[in-house]
Amino acid sequence: MKLYRIFAFMLMLAVAFAACEKIDPPYKVVTDGGGNGSGESGDTVRNVLIEDFTGHTCVNCPSAAHKAHELINFYGQRVVVMSVHAGWFARPDAHDPLFATDFRTESGEAWNTFWSVDIQGNPNGLINRLGGAANGVINPDNWAPVVEDESQKEFLAKVTINNDYNDSNKRLSVEVEAEFQKDMEGEYWLYVGLLQDSIVAPQKDEDVEGGIDTNYVHMHTLRTSLNGIWGEVLNDGETIVEKATYDKTYTLDFEDDWVPEHCHIVAFVYYASNEGLYDDKYVIQVDQESVIPKLEE
Amino acid sequence: MRKLLFIVSALLVFSTASYGQFADYLKKSEVHGSFEVDGMYYHADEAMGITDSIIDGRNFGFNGFASVTYSLGKFSAGMRYEAYLPPIAGFDPKLEGSGFPNLWASYNSEKLSFTVGNFYEQFGNGLIMRTYEEWTLGYDNSINGARVVITPVKGLILKGVYGTQRYFWSKYEKNNRGIVKGADIELNFNDAFQSMESSKLRLSLGASAVSKYQVDEDPIYKLPRNVASFAGRMNMGLGRVNFSTEYAYKINDPSAMNEYIYKPGQALIASISYSTRGFGAFAMFKRIDNMSYKSDRTVTSNALDISYLPAITEAHTYMLAAMYPYATQLNGEIGYQLQINYKVPKKSKLGGKYGMGISVNYSQVNDIVRTAPSDTTEIGVPGTLGYESDFFKFSDHVFYRDLNIEIDKKFSKKFKGTFTYIYQDFDIATIQGHTGEPMITSHIGIADITYKFTSKKALRAEIQGLFTDQDKGDWAAILLEYTISPHWFFSVADQYNYGNPIQSDQLHFYTGSFGYTHKTSRISVTYGRQREGVVCVGGVCRNVPASSGFYVTLSSSF
């Protein structure tokens, strides 16, 4: 009898030991955009940049794009996604016309090498380029908590973008202004690039029967840079004073397959450490603006 | 001065007594250990697409370990050193580094065993708890914490574990992964009750509960911080029949592995066997539904597994038969395995002078059936229940099917052979993630012949063929191995992908190797080409990339 008592007692102990939490629906936090109630605009709060390193032959990349889209739904304009086609899975395939298109960019390839992204596998990404060259790559399943963390950080700079697209000569003029919100030390750089939405092109996808989605809609695709692979330095290391503004202007001639109505200019300011190979490239603010302003409804 | 003299004298007396005690301890102490080093030198091989720029100066790979255990009476302690500098191709790059991942101390008495540090543990079949180390996979999910095993009365074993799991070289820090705790109880009726001591019925029952704690940092999903799982098991034997089963249940565990669905997980395994002289039969059933259970919900690689769900398919070891190995599909599978062994008697018409062994094994694994959780929700949508599933229904989607027939025949005192035919269906899209590729159907034939020249010298030959219209097409392979017992072996082998639809990929994968064994020490050297493939142990697999070069392995134990 004693044996049964011990048995029953231990079983009860084991069950108590195994703490558990059953979650009841809804399983997701409901918001109306803007994340957890800290504002909707990069004019007053910190926005977050997600660089989604992808490739058209990467079968798991659509799920990462889905995660990025989920974060846009949750945070609204406060999250800016940049899809960077780079590395092994982004290479055009000369033998397969479905994947002959080259979506790679000079910037994307350089970043892929710098952060060793495709060596660690795709999909993968950078969040505000946190973690330096050695620890910057973040698995899509970890994006959400990191984005949340970054979105709560101090508002340090405001980035304003003004686009003027001339349809007759297919030339875009861009003015970018970075306004710092406090005195700051160190070297700050500005990167300006062109993103394109709604590119319909084949994509390998493990969730599609047959493994290839021939009508996949590529969003936020980085098309080109307006100011070089790494952008350009703003302050040359001089101390930045509160409310200091830095203005830059650029022009870009559109290529035939860049659809202006689907394009955005993305601009971000990042801190670059002055040591060695600029190991640290931490983004302090990002914003984006449509090339063709959307009509008010 | 007097004080100093007193201290020196006291120390001398004390140290003399201590030395005696120390010498006594030394006599009772035992030290055991083992070590292994595996080194690889890579060189470019244009035909295989391996260029100097791909190697990029990293011509060497090195994996090594050494384990030492010290024991004195009921006390034992040990440590394990590992180095991956850098890891050999195919091992997780996160292994790169060196150090002591495992340190432990233990006290073991008849009724109580207590371990602190790193330890390995398994509850039942491991459905909700198994930690183990597998050197060939670079896998180690040991727990760093404390373990207690109590045997209050004969036949009753109680276990408790608490700690965090190893994740490569990453030290546990607050919230960087979960904390695991668990308890297990097992009652062996034949040992516990005198009345059953000599009973024909052999019976044992067990139950376990495991929970993991991980903080919820996700802004979008409401994630359970504590995820518990429970399992119950039974082993029963009556005469020549043995029956064993275990059922496990896990509460909602949204994770990267299941795409953040909230459906509870379930697993069931059951097996029955019968054996008599010259005949054996075995049947096994397994169903898994959403049972990945890791101590970090964001990890998708082979790491931090708390549960272990073995594959129920035959694990082939011959070169070509092992080309398409099955790996357990943790998100859902249902399957069975049947095996019959028969020994044709000696001096019968078929058995001849020495008899003949026949073994037939069939296994099949399908996907489970999934239906939408509601009229408005599709199957598998993150942030929902995910799906509903009828427990015993097989989906039409076959993951793996394997029929193998093996005949084992001794022709004379010097000559024996094993002849195998295997039919395989392998869903490479699901099992290896080659999305879009068709099911591979293959026929494999193997002849393994050994000729003994003397009692110490033997030549073994393997002749193999794999025939398929899919993937890389047909293969042929040959292996010749000359053994001089108990020290030397020499072998040459070639795998030829003559049926590859791409002509430039119709390559020979040749190797030449030799080895020397002395007592518990062994060294072997191999030169040649390693084809791209997958190595699996117990349903856990790693991808091995193609390589060319020298491979040296040295192992010993003491």
Q: Strand, coil or helix: what is A94? A: coil
Among all residues of chain A, which has the CA nearest to that of B227?
Answer: A20
Judged by DSSP in three states, B312 sits in: coil
In what helix (H) or strand (E) does residue A267 lie, and over which residues does it extend? strand A263-272
Which DSSP symbol is given to B305?
B
Q: CB A18 to CB B182 under 8 A?
A: yes
Rounded to a whole number of angstroms, the distance between the first and last alpha carbons of chain A is: 79
A120: nearest CA in chain B? Answer: B93
What is the rounded distance in angstroms from the CA atom of residue B99 to the CA atom of residue B145? 18
ipTM for this model = 0.81
User: How far off is chain A from B52, nearest CA to CA, in Å?
Assistant: 17
Task: Compare CB distances from A14 to B185, B218, B384 and report the shortest one's residue.
Answer: B185
Q: Does A96 touch chain B (CB under 8 A)?
A: no
Per-chain mean pLDDT for chain B: 93
What residues pair up with B64 in beta bridges, in sequence order? Answer: B37, B83
- Give the span between the Cα atoms of A230 and A192, in whole angstroms: 9
Q: Does A197 touch chain B (CB under 8 A)?
A: no
The three-class DSSP label of residue B188 is strand
Using alpha carbons, list the distances in angstroms from residue A273 to A244, A277, A283: 20, 8, 12
Cα B123 to chain centroid distance, Å, stands at 16
Q: Which residues of B366-390 are buried (b: 16+ CB within 10 A; e: fewer)?
A: bbbbbebbeeeeeebebbbbbbebe
Main-chain phi, psi angles of A139, to 5 degrees: -65, 140
Delineate the domains of chain A, giving CATH numbers in brackets: 2-17+31-290 (2.60.40.10)
Closest approach of A232 to chain B, Cα-based (Å): 31
Residue A23 has its nearest CB partner, among B222, B229, B297, at: B222
| The predicted structure's pLDDT at residue B539 | 61
Is the pTM of the predicted complex or chain greater than 0.90? Answer: no
**Residue contacts between A and B (CB atoms, under 8 Å):** 128
Could A11 and B207 be called an inter-chain contact, meaning their C-beta atoms sit closer than 8 Å?
A: yes
B76 bridge partner residues: B71, B106
Q: Residue B56: which residues within 8 A CB-CB, separation 6 or more?
A: none
Residue with tokens 């697409």, as numbered in its chain: B49
Residue of B nearest to A6 (CA): B152
Of A18, A27, A145, the CB nearest to B222: A27
Cα(A75)–Cα(B199) distance, integer angstroms? 67
pLDDT tens-digit readout, A229-260? 999 999 987 999 999 999 999 999 999 999 99
Subunit contact A23:B300, Cβ cutoff 8 A: no
A191-218 burial: b if 16+ Cβ within 10 Å, else e: bbbbbbbebebbbbbbebeebbbeebeb
CB of A5 less than 8 A from some CB of B = no
B519 φ/ψ sector (left φ>0, alpha ψ -120 to 50, else beta)? left
In chain A, which among 36-55 make CB contacts under 8 A with chain B? 36
Side-chain half-sphere exposure of B54, counting CA atoms within 13 A? 15
DSSP secondary structure of A201-259: --EE-TTSTTSEETT-EE-SEEEEESS-SS-EESSTTPPBPTT-EEEEEEEEEPPTT--
Query: Is the minimum CB–CB distance between B196 and chain A shorter than 8 Å?
Result: no
CA B147 and chain centroid, separation: 22
More confident residue, A37 or B19: B19
- Please indicate if any CB of chain B lies within 8 Å of the CB of A162: no
For A121-174, how does the pLDDT look when each residue is reduced to its tens digit (9 = 90+)?
A: 889 999 999 988 878 899 998 899 999 999 999 999 999 999 999 999 999 999
Q: For residue range A82-133, what is the model confidence (pLDDT) as tens digits?
A: 999 999 899 998 888 999 999 999 999 999 989 988 888 889 999 999 988 8
Taking a contact as any Cβ pair under 8 Å apart, which residues of chain A between 104 and 143 contact chain B? Answer: 119-120, 139, 141-142
Q: Residue B222 is nearest to which of A3, A29, A205, comparing CB atoms?
A: A29
CB B276 within 8 A of CB B240: yes
What is the full per-residue pLDDT of chain B (558 aa) written as tens digits?
Answer: 556 556 656 655 555 556 677 777 777 899 999 999 999 999 999 888 888 877 778 899 999 999 999 999 999 999 999 999 999 988 888 899 999 999 999 999 999 999 999 999 999 999 999 999 999 989 999 999 999 999 999 999 999 999 999 999 999 998 889 999 999 999 999 999 999 999 999 999 999 999 999 999 899 999 999 999 999 999 999 999 999 999 999 999 999 999 999 999 999 999 999 999 999 999 999 999 999 999 999 888 889 999 999 889 999 999 999 999 999 999 999 999 999 999 999 989 888 899 999 999 999 999 999 999 999 999 999 999 999 999 999 999 999 999 999 999 999 999 999 999 999 999 998 998 888 889 999 999 999 999 999 999 999 999 999 999 999 999 999 999 999 999 999 999 999 999 999 999 999 999 999 999 999 999 999 999 998 887 776 666 777 788 999 999 999 999
Q: Which residue of A has its CA nearest to B184?
A: A14
Nearest to B530 by CA among B173, B40, B5, B21: B40
Distance CA A119, CA A133 (A): 13
Q: Which of B435, B437, B504 to mutate to test the interface with A (most CBs of A within 10 A)?
A: B435
Whether B384 has its CB under 8 Å from any CB of chain A: the answer is: yes
User: Does residue A37 register a pLDDT over 60?
Assistant: no
Tokens of A16: 């108590």
Q: What single-letter DSSP state applies at residue A77? A: G
Q: Do B192 and A3 touch (CB under 8 A)?
A: yes
Distance between A35 CA and the closest CA of chain B, angstroms: 8
Judged by CB atoms closer than 8 Å, whether chains meet at A120 and B93 is answered as yes
Of A22, A19, A9, A20, nearest in space to B207 by CA: A9
**Which of B156, B184, B207 minimises the CB distance to A6?**
B156
B510, B517, B524 from B491: Cα distances, Å: 11, 15, 11
Distance in angstroms (rounded) separating the CA atoms of residues B528 and B494: 9
Cβ burial, residue B511 (10 Å; 0-12/13-18/19+) = middle
Report pLDDT digits (tens) over A207-221: 888 889 999 999 999
In chain B, residues with a C-beta closer than 8 Å to the C-beta of A70 are 220, 382
Predicted local confidence at residue A297, as pLDDT: 42
| CB interface of B with A, residues 70-99, below 8 Å | 93
pLDDT-derived band at A296, boundaries 50, 70, 90: very low
Q: Which residues contact B356 (CB under 8 A, 6 or more apart)?
A: B343, B344, B350, B407, B408, B409
- H helix runs in B417-513, sequence order: 428-431
**Residue B14 confidence (pLDDT):** 57
Cα–Cα–Cα angle for B216, B140, B266, rounded to 5 degrees? 55
Tokens of B122: 């398994």
- What is the reported pLDDT for B57? 82
**What are the backbone dihedrals phi and psi of residue B93, each rounded to the nearest 5 degrees, phi first?**
-60, -20
Cβ–Cβ below 8 Å for A119 and B93: yes
